[in-house]
Amino acid sequence: MRLRMLMRISGIINTIINLTKLWMYFMEIKFNSLALCLLSTTFLNTALANASPIDIKREEIVIFSRQGDSQLTQAISQLSDLYKKTGDRKVRDDLIALMMRKGEFKHAINVCADCNINHFSESELENLAKAYRNSKDFPKALQLYRKLSQKYPNNPNGLLGSSLVEVELSKYADAKKHLTQYKSKFGADNSYREASNYLLDHTEPNLLKLGRWHQQLQAEPNPELALKLYRLATKLNVLPIQSELVKRYPNLFSQKDLNWLEHGQVISSIKGDDNLKMSGLKSGYMRLTNIIDSLEQDNPLYRQAVQDRMILANKMNNKALVIKDYEILKSLNQEMPNYVQEAYADMLLKDGSPFKALEIYQKLAESEQANNKHISTALLFKLINASSDAGYFEQAQIYQDQIKESKQIWDFTRRTRLLNPNYEQAFYSQVNLHNWRGNKSKAVAVLEDRLTNLTPGDPWAMLALSDLESSRNNHDRANVLVDKASQFLGKDQALYKHQSANIALNQGNFAKAYQIIESYTAEEKESAEAVLKRYDEARRGGFTASFGISHQTAPSNKQSNELSQEYYLNSAKTTEGHYAYVHYSEDKVPTEGEVLKQRRIGAGSYLNFFPFNLTLEAGKGIKLNEKGYVSVNSGYVLNENWKFELSGNINGSSAPIKAINQKVYTKDIGFGTTYTYRDLVQVGTGVNAMKFDDDNMRKSFYLWASSQTFQHDRWALNNGIRFDYQRNKNIASAWYYNPDKSRNIEFSTDLSYRQPMNYGLVLTHHLKGLVGKYKQQNHKAEHSWAVSYGHDWRITKKINLSYEIGRKKNIYDGAAEFNNYGNVNFSYSF
């Protein structure tokens, strides 16, 4: 050991001698070899004389530590023992250095945790500062780095270490100051650049950091930086950089990373685009499905992808797919995020379950209120729609009043003011509420005021007003408004076409609606889903059935009930609205002596040549009335107010059954007209002449009016009045009811209450009443009346069922007749 120590010292002395020779050569000073040997010997003897046993031992251990990891461990143990025995500072210095080399930072700190930092050497200050930093004791590390900088100002790690630790302590101003001092003293070397980047990594906005890292990576490939950049790009959803990194460093990324990238690309392609085409939605749905199929359920991406796929299914209006993904998410037994619950509620609302949707929306509103102290405008709109569909109109108005939006908002540059779409939507939401609550006049007035005083050239207001006017039967004005809106819509005429088609369908003008639909471009069809769906629904075939029963209670001279039933089976309509049908009817009328039964079956067609239409039907009686029959009914729509009808029948259905039993058949012709004023009042009048085979001529005149007197929220009241006058020949042989003259006036009322339910069910209650006065020649005038209660059920959009029960008083030949009655009607479209 001693020999190795001497050899090391000798090598140092030889180096010094060689340097001395070189210096003397350039200075032209010559020494003989003897002098140099004397100098060498003198220096060696001095070094040997000054080396203590502790130093020699310390050096031996340090040299030994360099031979491998196990030797390093042994050397640390040996130096630790030596330090405990001697307390030598050089031993402590080397012990701390070896511990740092092995990564034993805590042990290095504990070597002399209570020592005064003023007594530490330069090496100890540097090593211990690093140890404290690596142990996350940043204040102590900063103290040591600052001491190093003060005591040894030429050591660059004092300023550099101080700056790095100050970054970790968020003392960014101090860090920047020390970096400036470092640059001034030591220059902008690699250490300075790395420390500057470290400071920027903590202080720079993410977007600037993204650009800086990207530039660094372009200049010099760095896998570690590539991963950092990828994570930041993922956080910021900068897909082009993610894709670039995956291509440049394929070995850095797993299939998991690629799946997340594909997921991000799908979401980016659809996010925020409310007008995305159906093809784009379907493509995104399939891409997400491929990702989901490649994953296990415990993969975090699996749940995320299913959630996002459910959102796409909702945008596609595909109820089955939404429910499928919702059930998958439920099976994972994890709490669903709010946006997933909101999408599920959206589907429930569109599917006709407003109460279920409202319950979810209200829970989301409670969460938003608790977290943000307010409810978002987007959620308020959904609460308004769900409350309205549920019939909670006052609640809907409360939500409407909570919307506080300014007319204008800043664009993303905060330099330009733009119209606030939420403000516009809130305006139209209030218009809709007026309409839904039955105050159409108020809704129209609000829109007219906007067009007159605020935005005269606003095509959206014109379209909204056109839609309202059409719903009030003001189709002519609706068409004028939509044509005017077209002039302000520019090249995009899709909304003009949609509204024009809706007006045509409201009028029954299938030919025009079809012409508009055929003119749609592929892009316009993407936004025409509602119109196309309505057109298809209007063209469906259908089956209708009606059944009536009447039981006479006084006078009780009839032993059985009077029954009637009628069925229609309609084909689907052609593109222009034509259809064919089969018609079956049956009547059972008890008389004093027998029960008369009549059955008829026929076929017909409805021809739609709007504004002209024609119904033709022919058939044959198959019970009691065994003769054939023909019916013709034509109609003409002059304008939104006037409609005319002309009809004729041979052996028609209005022939009295008692006359048919006598083999007396009829021919009749009639004319009628109807005047409609908006959706408020209708007035009609008509005449009819019926020729019997027994030479009787029945002439009839009628006049009627109906009015929607009141509508508010779920309640509606309709009233009507009707006057009938009839004149017949006095036919002695007539068994059927045949007064010489008669007149009748009736006042009717219908109070209804609408009750929405879930699953597309809507129940409307009806309480009806009628009072009248009947006068027959040769008999005094008598009062008549009727009262009934019934239900109308809408069971989805395809099925309707209604029924009522009631009691009535009629007058025949001056005698009162009392009946209990019931009616059932059913319709199904296919």
> Which pLDDT belongs to residue 26?
34
Say if residues 614 and 633 touch (Cβ distance below 8 Å). yes
Q: Which of 506, 538, 570 is the last residue of a domain?
A: 538
Residue 181 domain-assigned (yes or no): no
> Which pLDDT belongs to residue 621?
95
Both 779 and 717 in a single domain?
A: yes
Q: Each residue of 58-84: pLDDT tens digit?
A: 999 999 999 999 999 999 999 999 999
Q: Using the predicted structure, report yes or no on whether residue 43 has a pLDDT greater than 80.
A: no
Both 576 and 638 in a single domain?
A: yes
Both 424 and 457 in a single domain?
A: yes
Closest CA to 510 of 658, 395, 609: 609
> Which pLDDT belongs to residue 41?
38
Amino acid sitting at position 781: A
DSSP-assigned states of every residue in 755-769 = EE-STTEEEEEEEEE
Q: Strand pairing partners for 699? A: 689, 727
Q: In the structure, what pLDDT confidence band is assigned to residue 275 with cuts at 50, 70 and 90? A: low
Both 547 and 509 in a single domain?
A: no
> Which pLDDT belongs to residue 189?
94
Nearest-angstrom CA–CA distance, 769 and 788? 7
Q: Strand pairing partners for 579? A: 606
> Which pLDDT belongs to residue 655?
94
Q: Using the predicted structure, report yes or no on whether residue 796 has a pLDDT greater than 60.
A: yes
Both 563 and 469 in a single domain?
A: no
Both 560 and 522 in a single domain?
A: no
Q: What's the number of domains the chain is made of?
A: 3
> Which pLDDT belongs to residue 51?
67
Q: Which of 507, 538, 569 is the last residue of a domain?
A: 538
Q: In the structure, what pLDDT confidence band is assigned to residue 277 with cuts at 50, 70 and 90? A: confident
Q: Which of 508, 538, 568 is the last residue of a domain?
A: 538
Looking at every residue in the chain, the average pLDDT score rounds to 92
Residue 495 domain-assigned (yes or no): yes
Residue 131 domain-assigned (yes or no): no
CATH at 566: 2.40.160
Residues 12/13/18/21 CA torsion (nearest 10 deg): 150
Both 442 and 417 in a single domain?
A: yes
Q: Using the predicted structure, report yes or no on whether residue 533 has a pLDDT greater than 50.
A: yes
Residue 471 domain-assigned (yes or no): yes
Treating both helix axes as pointing N-terminal to C-terminal, what angle do 122-134 and 89-102 enclose, rounded to 10 degrees?
30
Both 733 and 759 in a single domain?
A: yes
* Element containing residue 171 per DSSP (H, E): none
Say if residues 715 and 737 touch (Cβ distance below 8 Å). no
Residue 357 domain-assigned (yes or no): no
DSSP-assigned states of every residue in 474-486 = -HHHHHHHHHHHH
> Which pLDDT belongs to residue 50?
58
Average pLDDT over residues 603-620: 98
Strand pairing class (782-795; 799-812): antiparallel
Say if residues 697 and 730 touch (Cβ distance below 8 Å). no
Both 507 and 558 in a single domain?
A: no
**Tokens 């997340």 map to which residue?**
260
> Which pLDDT belongs to residue 413?
76
Say if residues 793 and 800 touch (Cβ distance below 8 Å). yes
Residues 6+ apart with CB under 8 A from 66: 72
> Which pLDDT belongs to residue 7?
38
* pTM of structure: 0.78
Residue 603: which domain range?
542-829
Q: Using the predicted structure, report yes or no on whether residue 22 has a pLDDT greater than 50.
A: no
Nearest-angstrom CA–CA distance, 669 and 698? 11
Q: Using the predicted structure, report yes or no on whether residue 36 has a pLDDT greater than 70.
A: no
Residue 27: count of CB within 10 angstroms of its CB: 8
> Which pLDDT belongs to residue 142?
97
Nearest-angstrom CA–CA distance, 562 and 551? 6
Residue 664: count of CB within 10 angstroms of its CB: 20
Nearest-angstrom CA–CA distance, 656 and 665? 9
Residue 97 domain-assigned (yes or no): no
Residue 723 domain-assigned (yes or no): yes
Q: pLDDT: is 748 or 813 the higher one?
A: 748
Q: Each residue of 132-187: pLDDT tens digit?
A: 999 999 999 999 999 999 999 999 999 999 999 999 999 999 999 999 999 999 99
Of 248-252, 556-560, 778-782, 822-826, highest mean pLDDT: 822-826
Both 564 and 706 in a single domain?
A: yes
Q: Each residue of 382-433: pLDDT tens digit?
A: 999 999 999 999 999 999 999 999 998 887 777 888 889 999 999 999 999 9
> Which pLDDT belongs to residue 319?
94
CATH at 435: 1.25.40.10
Q: Using the predicted structure, report yes or no on whether residue 828 has a pLDDT greater than 90.
A: yes
> Which pLDDT belongs to residue 12?
44
Q: Using the predicted structure, report yes or no on whether residue 1 has a pLDDT greater than 70.
A: no
DSSP-assigned states of every residue in 387-419 = HHHTT-HHHHHHHHHT----SEEE-TTSSSEEE
Q: In the structure, what pLDDT confidence band is assigned to residue 674 with cuts at 50, 70 and 90? A: very high
What proportion of the chain, given as a percentage, has pLDDT over 70?
93
- Min mean pLDDT across 406-415, 429-438, 471-480, 481-490 is at 406-415
Q: Each residue of 432-461: pLDDT tens digit?
A: 999 999 999 999 999 999 999 999 999 999
Residue 616 domain-assigned (yes or no): yes
- Min mean pLDDT across 10-19, 400-409, 465-474 is at 10-19
Both 547 and 464 in a single domain?
A: no
Q: Strand pairing partners for 299? A: none
> Which pLDDT belongs to residue 4?
38
> Which pLDDT belongs to residue 830?
95
Q: Each residue of 324-361: pLDDT tens digit?
A: 999 999 999 999 999 999 999 999 999 999 999 999 99
Closest CA to 196 of 173, 222, 176, 219: 176
Q: Using the predicted structure, report yes or no on whether residue 9 has a pLDDT greater than 80.
A: no
Q: Each residue of 715-735: pLDDT tens digit?
A: 999 999 999 999 999 999 999
Nearest-angstrom CA–CA distance, 513 and 532? 10
Omega before residue 611 within 30° of 0, cis: yes
What proportion of the chain, given as a percentage, has pLDDT over 90?
86
Say if residues 44 and 9 touch (Cβ distance below 8 Å). yes
Both 649 and 776 in a single domain?
A: yes
Say if residues 210 and 230 touch (Cβ distance below 8 Å). no
